[in-house]
Amino acid sequence: MSNKSKRILVSNDDGYFSEGLQALVEAVSPLGEVWVVAPDREQSAASHAISLHRPLRIKEVRERWFAVDGTPADCAYLAINHLLKDDRPVLMVSGINHGANLAEDIMYSGTVAAAMEGALLGVPAIAFSLVARRNFDFAPAARFARSLVSSALSRPLPPRMLLNVNIPGGVEPEGYVITRQGRHSYGFEVVENEDPRGRKYYWIGGSDYQHEDIPGSDCNAVFRDKRVSVTPLHFELTDHGRLPDLSGWQVDGFNRHEPDGA
C-alpha cells in the first residue's frame, strides 16, 4: 500500500475551523489521505461524553472534511464506525489543542477523548496539545507532529495504542521525553457574581496554576525542561496498587466472594 492511500483521521475539541486543527492537517497531509471529522463548535473539556439521546448531524464542509454537531468522542465514533467503516484509518490524530492536556487535564480533555475513542475502536491514536495560553504558534508543534506521525506510519503502533503529546509553547523544543502522567492544580476557584437580572451565577475553573515536581512526569518535561512530553495512556482505570488495601474489607450483611465466582 502506498503511503498516500493510508487514511489518517483528524479530529479535535476546538472545532473543525480551529487554527490548531488546520496546522495538524497541514502537518500530516503529505503522509496519507487525510479525513477531518471534528465538532462544529468548541467542545473543550467535553471529556468522553457521547450523544446517545439525540440525533447527530454530519455536515460536509469540503471534500473529506466534516463538521458534527456532537462531542469529540461522537466524531471519532461516527468517523470510524460510519464514514470510514469500509476503509478504516490506520491512524487517528487529535488536536493540535489550544492549550495543555497534562496531568489531571487528561480526565477532562476532549482532545484526548477523541483520540481515546479512536484507540478504543482499534485505531491507534495520538493527541497533540500546545502548552500555551495566548500567542499560539503552532509551527514547532506541527513539525513534531509530522515527524511522530511519519514514524508511527512506518513502524505501526499497536491497535489500541494511545499517546498523549504535549508540546511546550514559545520555544523550539530540541527533543522529547517519554513520560508518565503528573499531578497539577488550577486552584479550584469558584467566582460568584450576579447576572443583569439579579440572579447569581458561578464561574468554575481556577487560574492559580501549580504542578507537582514529579520526576519523569509530563509536567516536568514541558515546564522544567522545555521538552515535548509523550505519555502512553490506557483505559484500564483499576488501581492495582490499592487492591491489597481492600483485602481485609468486609461489608456487613453480605458475603465476600473471590473474583470469578469462587
Closest contact distance (angstroms) between CB of 245 and Mn ion is 36
Closest contact distance (angstroms) between CB of 169 and Mn ion is 14
* Residue 14 touching Mn ion (CB under 5 A): yes
Residues 34, 10 contacting (CB under 8 angstroms): yes
Tell me which residue has its CB nearest to Mn ion. Answer: 44
Options 75-83, 94-102, 138-146, 150-158: segment touching Mn ion (CB under 5 A) = 94-102
Closest contact distance (angstroms) between CB of 226 and Mn ion is 22
* Residue 217 touching Mn ion (CB under 5 A): no
Closest contact distance (angstroms) between CB of 99 and Mn ion is 6
| Residue 56 main-chain phi, psi, to 5 deg | -115, 145
CA distance 199 to 182: 39
In this structure, what DSSP letter does residue 180 have? B
Closest contact distance (angstroms) between CB of 42 and Mn ion is 7
Q: Which amino acid is at 11?
A: S
- The smaller minimum CB distance to Mn ion, of residues 90 and 97, is found at 97
Number of residues in contact with Mn ion under rule CB under 5 A? 4
Work out the angle at residue 52's Cα, subtended by the Cα atoms of residues 49 and 57, and round it to the nearest 5 degrees.
95
- The smaller minimum CB distance to Mn ion, of residues 90 and 142, is found at 142
For the residues of 118-145, what is the DSSP string, one character each? HHHTT--EEEEEEE-SSS---HHHHHHH
**Which one of residues 71, 97, 179, 231 is an interface residue with Mn ion (CB under 5 A)?**
97
* Residue 105 touching Mn ion (CB under 5 A): no
Q: Which amino acid is at 127?
A: A
Binding pattern for the stretch 125-164 against Mn ion, x by CB under 5 A and - elsewhere = ----------------------------------------
CA distance 32 to 90: 9
Query: What order do you get walking across the sheet with 65-68 strand by strand?
Result: 58-62, 65-68, 33-39, 7-11, 91-98, 125-131, 162-168, 228-233, 176-178
| Residues 34-63 within binding reach of Mn ion (CB under 5 A) | 44
* Residue 231 touching Mn ion (CB under 5 A): no
Q: Which residues bind Mn ion (CB under 5 A)?
A: 13-14, 44, 97
